[in-house]
Amino acid sequence: MLKAGKFYFTNLSNGLRVLLLPSKEVLSFKVLVLINTGADFEIKEQNGISHLLEHMYFKGTPKRPSTFKIATEIDSVGGYYNAYTDREITGLFIQLGADYTDLALDVSSDILLHPLLPEKELEKEKGVIIEEINMLADDPRVTAYELWEKLLYGNQPAGWPIGGSKETVARLSRDDLQQYWQSQFRSQSVLVALSGKLPSSETKALALVKKYFHNIPLGQGKPKLKTREKQIKPNLLIQKKSTEQTHLWLGFRAFNTFDPRQYALEVLNAVLDAGMSSRLFQLLREKLGLAYYVNSWFSLKTDTGWWAVSAGVNNGRVLEAISHILKEFQSFKISRLDEAEVKKAKNCLIGRLSLSSENVHAVAADYASQALLKNQIISLEEHLKKIKDVRFSEVKKLAKELIKPQFLNLALLGPIKEDQKIKKLLGSFIN
């Protein structure tokens, strides 16, 4: 068993991974179960199956044959539960008072090991998800983000929406879900994390996990296909829609989560967007009044990654906004990036990471994701040290490596009328 700081991480004999993050300062207990599967593991005909299966977790087991029965057990002790689907992870959690540790593990293991997947409930839940898809389609920020992923990855799992389409969801059957569950929910692809007020020793906590998950199917789930990437010039994708703002995503391909440059990217991203004093906020909102929201983000998966700016801008000033964002990116490669700015960004990151340590369950979720995808954990303390150790020269070097025309992408949603001018502007971006 690996012991580092306050957490414990081990592999059981059946391959199931277990993370323990105890805290004597809280009165709550949380079990988080992560499965190494998600939208990036799907085939085209079944796009959305991970998300639909996640919804069906709560539709009953032989021991608890209805959603109401499951909900009543958790609600009666003031607990909270939910599940979620992402690209490479599907998760389920239950959080409640520490006196009900056994209940949380009993319910979570029952839901995941013995799902009934009732046909009648499946048809109703497909209708619920189709309405969720309709709801998200009415949200331009969500649609713009899905457009960004489609631009980067095209017609492959990483480019398809996590929830699927109305057509693919409607076609999914109980047999499809049963086969997908059987192929993916296996011991070596699952991690159980316990956080908060745990039993008195890690030995007792592990014994509880073994008790409730001892009959998990053995083996490893079907792996996802590696994401394909090929780009030699700037890419543009426009979806014209009557909206009050134009929503954009503008940025660059990056690298995967195993790349040691990720800490320099954190710092570089913080220079661009770390609070109301950051470059983006000061320029696009305070100085130019172009946007209400403007942020920069990066996402690093096991086989790909990106770094981008998102914003909602005045429909009549789209070209202006794009031009200014491109100039900010370009400035990183020339003269307008100094050591004082990088130091400020590092201090901001260090402060925010330190504040995040106050929520033991959030820290456990971060550690659990790392352990599931990389089978190792960079603790909060180690993370802080890695940020402190980032050198100014590393940040400048990374900017030159990422900010290139062959990595540049722009996704736009709105009543766009200047397609050719936008395309020309992107084409003028040089090394």
List residues with catalytic annotation.
54
Among 129, 155, 135, CA closest to 51: 129
Both tokens of 321, joined, read: 């906004």
E strand or H helix at 129: helix 119-137
Residue 100 exposed, middle or buried by CB count within 10 Å (0-12, 13-18, 19+): buried
- CB-CB neighbours of 371 under 10 Å: 22
Among 180, 194, 166, CA closest to 115: 180
Q: Distance of CA 196 to CAs 10, 27, 382, Å? A: 18, 7, 21
Phi, psi of 375 (to 5 degrees): 55, 30
Q: Distance of CA 227 to CAs 42, 156, 223, 252, 404, Å? A: 12, 8, 12, 16, 21
Whether 43 contacts 216, CB under 8 Å: no
Q: Name the DSSP class of 40.
A: G
- The single residue listed with the structure tokens 């409930």 is 121
Q: Name the DSSP class of 282.
A: I
Distance CA 249, CA 149 (A): 10
Q: Name the DSSP class of 198.
A: -
- CB-CB neighbours of 424 under 10 Å: 11
Residue 353 exposed, middle or buried by CB count within 10 Å (0-12, 13-18, 19+): middle
Q: Distance of CA 137 to CAs 44, 188, 349, 373, Å? A: 20, 36, 34, 30
